[in-house]
Amino acid sequence: MRDKLGDWGFEDSSNKNHPEEVFIERVVTRIEHTDGVWEWLPKWKKLRQLIEETNFSES
């Protein structure tokens, strides 16, 4: 995976971070901070709905 991510441009010019770390920073972290990201895929919408409808205080 590391080689493929590097091929796709997920490289650190300072060579301090591996391509997977660059990928996480550029993609995953930014997705986490994006409003409405749960709307992108139907499965994510369903997951969010299930989470919202779940009472986690029940055992």
Question: What does the pLDDT look like over 6-41, one tens digit per residue?
Answer: 899 998 888 888 999 999 888 888 888 888 888 889
Query: Is residue 41 in a domain?
Result: yes
Per the structure block, which two tokens stand in for 10? 């997920």
Q: How many domains does the chain have?
A: 1
Domain of 37, in residue numbers? 2-53
Ramachandran sector of residue 14 (left: φ over 0; alpha: ψ -120 to 50; beta: rest):
alpha
The pTM of the whole model exceeds 0.75: no
- Report the alpha-carbon distance of residue 35 to residue 13 in Å, rounded: 29
Say if 58 falls within a structural domain: no
* Residue 29 lies inside a defined structural domain of this protein: yes
pLDDT digits (tens, 9 = 90+) for 42-56: 998 898 888 889 888
